[in-house]
Amino acid sequence: MSAQVTRIKPEADQPLPGNEVQKERSMVLQKEMIASHYKALAASAETGCKVVYTFVPGNLNELIGSFDNLLPVHPEINALQNAMRKRTGKMVLEAEKLGHSEDVCAYVKADIGMARSGNIGPSGTRIPDPHLLLLSYTGCFTFLKWFELLREEYNAPVAMLHTPYQGDGIVTDSMRAYMVRQIKEEVIPKLEKVSGRKFDIDKLREMLARSRQAEDDLVAVLESAKNVPSPIDAYFGAVYYIGPIFSAFRGTEAAVEYYRELRKEVEARLAAGQGPVTPEGEMGPERYRLVVEGPPNWTSFRDFWKMFYDEGAVVVASSYAKVGGLYDQGFRHDPEHPLESLADYCFGCYTNLNLPSRVALLSKYVREYQADGFLINSIKSCNSFSAGQLLILREVEQRTGIAGGFVESDLVDPRYFSGANIKTRMESYFQMIEQKRKGAA
């Protein structure tokens, strides 16, 4: 039995206009969830909901959601959604006009540029100004600076949760206690103030229980890629799969339903021996299995993906799919220990891991997912991901004996995606793997 596939026409402002795109039912569901969230944001003034800006890695979505009248906004998601609609070029230039350098994270510039152009979000509705800036993950230094800028821009208060880096590769009890204390003393009081309601730990527990359910299903989906052929693409496809859980929906009924549906679809594909669905339909035979490190490029997302599926390359595991949490390594939100598990969640996001842990994790993926290639997409303006990637490349190559590849692009700055250059590298890389196979045979 094959999964149900609905063919829908993309909206006029989506990439590759005119092309008919294949979407699974879960994608349609997700689209509706995102649209409803942007609608709720646009109507927040009327509904009396307050708006909390926060980042994806280590976000405290259940905590925000437990107040019932707080809505999260994730600036990176606005930036990437705008990039997929080819709108960030202008926004980045707008920010550069204000004096932000070319080297500054393009997410930041797209966000600042959007704010300065009426703050119209990806869905075409206005994103309301923040009532609170909740900086719940400090592993990325740019996040700190970003919220300093937004504080200036909106004159909004900041709640800062300082997340210690996993420098030694472990989370100690004192690190966890330090985080819990900050959540109690810094974060919750500020949320209460903005919300006007008291924090209710039982509501938080209920949300965490729902998170856990969705997390189980997500892991089953991601781990389905251990099968040969893989029924999913764990990078380009996973970008959609991780959308709800890393953003505004973790802990909601909608997310539980979405992941239940997604898992069903993937299991059906697996049972039918099908490969991933691409924007051009079913993928051809699986020829290469890759582990990918680094975020995707958003401005030419489809073009970049096409360079993979045209060659029969499936990404079987990616670090980007863990950017908001390493559920596949066992972490689950825990209603029995609500604040502690929120702390652990913040500790565990991928870029908070030190280099040895990242190398070990990626090498493990290569082995467990039977990959025959390890590719890095190095993002020009993202220090959190890109620092140390060449070292990672060499180490993973040495530990696993597989061929490493390296391409460079950017998140949402269209000027830093050179299609011809990346295509040359990708083709060379696939041919190199092929040649190695022939040599070994």
Among 2, 6, 19, 435, binds another protein (CB under 8 A): 435
The reply to whether 436 sits near another protein by the rule CB under 8 A is: yes
Among 225, 403, 411, 412, binds another protein (CB under 8 A): 403
Least Cβ distance, residue 29 to another protein (angstroms): 37
Rounded to 10°, the helix 106-115/88-97 angle is: 80
Stretch that binds another protein, among 102-110, 118-126, 369-377, 422-430 (CB under 8 A): 422-430
Among 169, 235, 417, 441, binds another protein (CB under 8 A): 417
Closest-CA residue to 239 (of 332, 320, 123) = 320
Stretch that binds another protein, among 89-97, 106-114, 285-293, 418-426 (CB under 8 A): 418-426
Among 68, 102, 148, 427, binds another protein (CB under 8 A): 427
Among 89, 199, 397, 399, binds another protein (CB under 8 A): 397
Least Cβ distance, residue 438 to another protein (angstroms): 8
The reply to whether 12 sits near another protein by the rule CB under 8 A is: no
Of the two residues 93 and 390, which places its CB atom closer to another protein in the complex? 390
Per residue, the 3-state secondary structure of the chain, as one string, reads CCCCEEEECCCCCCCCCCCCEEEEHHHHHHHHHHHHHHHHHHCHHHHCCEEEEECCCCCCHHHHHCCCCEEEECHHHHHHHHHHCCCHHHHHHHHHHCCCCCCCCHHHHHHHHHHCCCCECCCCCECCCCCEEEECCCCCHHHHHHHHHHHHHHCCCEEECCCCCECCCCCCHHHHHHHHHHHHHHHHHHHHHHHCCCCCHHHHHHHHHHHHHHHHHHHHHHHHHHCCCCCCCCCHHHHHHHCCCCCCCCCCHHHHHHHHHHHHHHHHHHHCCCCCEECCEECCCCCEEEEEECCCCCCCHHHHHHHHHCCCEEEEEECHHHCCCCHHHCCCCCCCCHHHHHHHHHHCCHHHECHHHHHHHHHHHHHHCCCCEEEEEEECCCHHHHCCHHHHHHHHHHHHCCEEEEEEECCCCHHHCCHHHHHHHHHHHHHHHHHHHHHHC
Stretch that binds another protein, among 196-204, 280-288, 326-334, 397-405 (CB under 8 A): 397-405
The reply to whether 398 sits near another protein by the rule CB under 8 A is: no
The reply to whether 420 sits near another protein by the rule CB under 8 A is: yes
Among 2, 19, 370, 431, binds another protein (CB under 8 A): 431
Which residues pair with residue 73 across a beta bridge? Answer: 53
The reply to whether 47 sits near another protein by the rule CB under 8 A is: no
Contact 243, 27 (CB under 8 A): no
CA–CA separation, 383 and 352 (whole Å): 12
The reply to whether 394 sits near another protein by the rule CB under 8 A is: yes
Of the two residues 205 and 287, which places its CB atom closer to another protein in the complex? 287
Stretch that binds another protein, among 195-203, 204-212, 270-278, 390-398 (CB under 8 A): 390-398
Stretch that binds another protein, among 332-340, 353-361, 365-373, 433-441 (CB under 8 A): 433-441
Among 404, 412, 413, 414, binds another protein (CB under 8 A): 404
188-to-8, 87, 135, 159, 193 alpha-carbon distances in Å: 43, 36, 13, 9, 9
Contact 155, 341 (CB under 8 A): no
What amino acid is encoded at 127 in this protein? Answer: I
For another protein, what does the binding mask look like between residues 355 and 384, x meaning CB under 8 A?
-------------------------x----
The reply to whether 272 sits near another protein by the rule CB under 8 A is: no
Of the two residues 296 and 404, which places its CB atom closer to another protein in the complex? 404
The reply to whether 406 sits near another protein by the rule CB under 8 A is: yes
Stretch that binds another protein, among 129-137, 178-186, 355-363, 416-424 (CB under 8 A): 416-424
The reply to whether 390 sits near another protein by the rule CB under 8 A is: yes
Least Cβ distance, residue 101 to another protein (angstroms): 16
Least Cβ distance, residue 430 to another protein (angstroms): 8
Of the two residues 330 and 439, which places its CB atom closer to another protein in the complex? 439
CA–CA separation, 30 and 24 (whole Å): 10
Of the two residues 4 and 421, which places its CB atom closer to another protein in the complex? 421
Least Cβ distance, residue 436 to another protein (angstroms): 7
Q: Which residues bind another protein (CB under 8 A)?
A: 380, 390, 394, 397, 403-404, 406, 408, 416-418, 420-421, 424-425, 427-428, 431-432, 435-436, 439
